[in-house]
Amino acid sequence: MTISNPAKPPKSHKSAIAPKRGADLMHDPLLNKGTAFTRDERLKLGLLGLLPPQVSTPEEQAERALNNMRKRGSDLEKYIDCLSLLDRNTTLFYQVVMNNIEELMPIIYTPTVGLGCQRYAHIFRRARGIFITRREKGMIRDILRNWTQKDVRVIVVTDGERILGLGDLGANGMGIPVGKLSLYTACGGVPPAQTLPVTLDVGTNNETFLKDPLYLGVHEKRITGAEYDALVEEFVTAVQEVFPQALVQFEDFANHNAFRLLEKYRDAVCCFNDDIQGTASVSLAGLYSAAKLTGKKLSEQVILFHGAGEAAIGIGDLCVSAMVAEGLSKQDAMKRCWFMDSKALVESSRKDLQAHKKPYAHEHAPLGDLLTAVRELKPTALIGVSGKAAQFTEDIVKEMARINKMPVIFALSNPTANAECTAEQAYSWSEGRAIFASGSPFPAYKYDGRTFVSGQGNNAYIFPGVGMGVVACGAKRVTDEMFFEAAKELAACASKDDLAQGCLFPPLSKIVEVSARIAVKTAEVAYKRGLATEPRPKDLLAFVKERQYKPVYPNYA
């Protein structure tokens, strides 16, 4: 078996000093080389006899790891196998993942990570990241200092209340920060030693977990109100003291906390919410790409969102900014974005709307179902962010195709089982005219002699590059402008060949390069707005690429 694009050592590959010896060295996944330790290294570092005598090349190790993983009977078993490799040998894990990203991203992240989180307590092997509970109030600084790596630049934190479309998974949600950070490295190039996954275990309202003796989180109902806010505040404050250069990504918080936490901290610390801003950016990129196929500018679109939570409103807000950039007033741009929540159309006569929905409550007669809304509003784009499966029925897709020559249909809910429709359904029900994207991957589909390769509108196209840009320039804040520029750059990376086969995004095999370009756009905004702390280099792209992590073993000899 051939390993594609094996990592090459840098031109200057000087000997490194091993900070540990013997078994301690092999038990540190960031330092361990496994069977790739040379004879000289084994003699020098007290490893002789602790490993089989044959020295393996990194390519041989990767082949062994891939063969073992591919023999597993299910995706969950493959997920466990990948995490076990990450626990043993960080460099080898990233070599395998980065050289096989299209195959392995669905394993280490969506859709498999959702099942991994649901089963977290039952498949647990080794702790990764930091867990913080209400019992640690007043101690969070000390807890963060327990982390062995001291130069942390990216933190992904969740409270586990809204994991993907799966709901409240409590402490089991740790799989999400771990998975997200693996993509920060594999896709964006952020060094793994500079990443930290955190779970704020504030309890769970999931009765199944509370009754499960194997559940590893706090067996208590969720805390709310002032106590919850105080814990988050202490965490954010502690990060500024212990890891002052760290970007904090809020991940999978429920709507009632996500919006207000972002508003509270976005102008105070370096942070963002990926569910709001990352999802918005990749969706806007998809709409820009779709516009190349339909011939209509974004400002000419009418967008109907099925769902009105943090993802939907985040996409709407960024689309409004993009339409304004094309010349519309903000008011006119907002009127081109409509939302259906779990009850009905978001419109001005409703008295039950949450604060984040009210700006989009336009004047319209009440509409109680999605099909009627499509018929009445005649959207050019239908975006699913409901978290519920099979919401885009055959009648709805056919109606979209009746009123549009090329209907734009995005089924973005994760994991795959929660997608509003499948790629096959979108293409077949629209007679091959749909422009389709989804949050989780779908296989290629043949219809009427044409093969469609739908794009995966996954945030992994956005947040790793934005994060790498923040790290590279030392940005003090993350702004919506960064996500706007990231969306434009991602759309620019989709080639004519990509678009011709129905794919609105570049292939995942190019994601490291794409992330580098997005990192440059992110850093350019930081320099333009006076938010960067690092001196601006002459060649920003070369500067970013030089700092992107390469999965190459150190030479300890």
Residue with tokens 């516009």: 291
Query: DSSP H helical segments within 266-304, as ranges?
Result: 279-294
Q: Which residue(s) pair with 306 in the sheet?
A: 340, 384
Residue 215's contacts (CB-CB under 8 Å, 6 or more residues apart) are 121, 170, 171, 172, 209
Query: Omega of the bond prior to 415 within 30 degrees of 0, cis?
Result: yes
| Cα–Cα distance list, 96 to 1, 111, 378, 383 (Å) | 13, 19, 46, 34
Question: Do 464 and 517 form a contact (C-beta atoms < 8 A)?
Answer: no
Q: Which two tokens stand for residue 444?
A: 């290629």
Helix (H) and strand (E) counts for the chain?
A: 24, 13
- DSSP H/E element including 381: strand 381-384
d(CA 135, CA 430): 55
Q: Note if the bond before 111 is cis, omega within 30 degrees.
A: yes
Find, among 407, 457, 403, 399, the residue nearest to 432 by Cα: 407
3-state secondary structure of 42: helix
- Give which of 69, 87, 15 is closest to 44, Cα–Cα: 15
> Looking at 180, 357, 521, 545, which residue is catalytic?
180
State the catalytic residue, choosing from 109, 445, 461, 553.
109
Rounded Cα gap, residues 214 and 227, in angstroms: 27
- Strand (E) or helix (H) holding 375: helix 370-377
Number of residues that this document lists for the chain: 557
Query: Is 180 an annotated catalytic residue?
Result: yes
Please choose, from the candidates 158, 176, 44, 184, the residue with its C-alpha nearest in 3D space to the C-alpha of residue 120: 176
Catalytic residues: 109, 180
